[in-house]
Structure 1
Amino acid sequence: MRDATDSRLLAAVQRRADMTAQELGELLHLSASQAARRRARLEDDGVITGYGARLNPERLGLAVQAFVQVQMAAHNAGNAEGFAKLVQTLPEVVSCWTLTGEADYLLRVWCGDLAALNALIHHRLLPHPAVARVQSQIVMDQPKADSGLPV
């Protein structure tokens, strides 16, 4: 069972995953070993599923972020499986969700420029036999950066 200290630990590692046990202990008013044991328990329980670094898209030459809605030609297991396999091969697609409503999938993509986004849509997504329609929205600004889950 999680308590308030676990919630504070989770919030801290979401902000900065590379915190040492000593730093976590100081933040949580625990010894480094107590903080390390709590973090290990949350990892073992599957609450913490991994750690990663946040990269600067501009420094990587990624100037265009877009959300792409995909509508399937037909709703069947074969189409869903084929489209899921396609998405896994596309490094520009950083997230993919299945949705209710008009669109079946929502893709979050990062591309170097508009030409690369155009190529992704017209040469990779639309030619797939499972895809009936694609609609994209280009991100103009992101007033709130990606953040962690509310804990």
Structure 2
Amino acid sequence: MGLDTIDRAILDVLRQDARTSVNALAQRVSISRANAYARLRRLTDDGVIVGYGLRTDPVREGFHASAYVALSVDQSDWQHIRSGLLAMPEVEHVALVGGDFDVLVLVRARDNRDLRRIVLEEIQAFPGVRSSRTFPIFEDLDAVTGRRGAD
């Protein structure tokens, strides 16, 4: 389905605050409440909106070390590796990518010692992980707000 400018405006408002009421949403995008409700229903029914979530500041949540971990993997083991990564509470995001590496993983840890354990003792232990490269995160910026975490 194609999205028009009003649909995109609705998504932008909800990305800023998913708790926005239908009345406030309608006002912000200059449409009627009934139209806003119908568009939300259509966007959800069509699978454009797949859920509503919560964004947190990882540091305030107790995760003082974060890193992107790039993995080279045996493709035949991808499903097993994927399942294992998704089961790890410290893993926030997993992406199968093209390029020099096969998988990019966002890891949140209590501190550097915990990050070392997660990468070297857990992720590297998955059968089929050939190598990893860790990229520490020095500052997180929220792509929606442009601010750090929950600031």
Partners of 1:46 and 1:86 lie apart in 2 by: 27
* TM, length-normalised to structure 1: 0.88
Question: For residues 1-151 of structure 1, what are the structure 2 equivalents within 5 Å?
Answer: 1-72=2-73, 74-76=74-76, 79-142=77-140, 144-147=141-144
Q: Is the 8 A contact 2:66 2:137 kept in 1?
A: yes
Partners of 1:21 and 1:140 lie apart in 2 by: 38
Task: Work out the number of aligned pairs and report it.
Answer: 144
* 1:65-110 deviation digits (Å, cap 9, x = unpaired): 10001112x332xx11211121121111111111222211110111
User: Percent identical across equivalent pairs?
Assistant: 24
Q: Structure 2, unaligned stretches of length 5 or more?
A: 146-151
Residue 136 (structure 1) shift? 0.2
Partners of 1:23 and 1:83 lie apart in 2 by: 43
Partners of 1:101 and 1:9 lie apart in 2 by: 34
Q: 1:109 to 1:146 in 2, by over 3 A?
A: farther
Partners of 1:24 and 1:100 lie apart in 2 by: 38
Partners of 1:29 and 1:12 lie apart in 2 by: 12
Q: Is the 8 A contact 2:70 2:103 kept in 1?
A: yes
Partners of 1:86 and 1:45 lie apart in 2 by: 30
Partners of 1:36 and 1:24 lie apart in 2 by: 9
The aligned counterpart of 2:148 is: none
* 1:99-134 deviation digits (Å, cap 9, x = unpaired): 222211110111110011111012111122211111
Question: C-alpha root-mean-square deviation of aligned residues, in Å?
Answer: 1.6
The aligned counterpart of 2:149 is: none
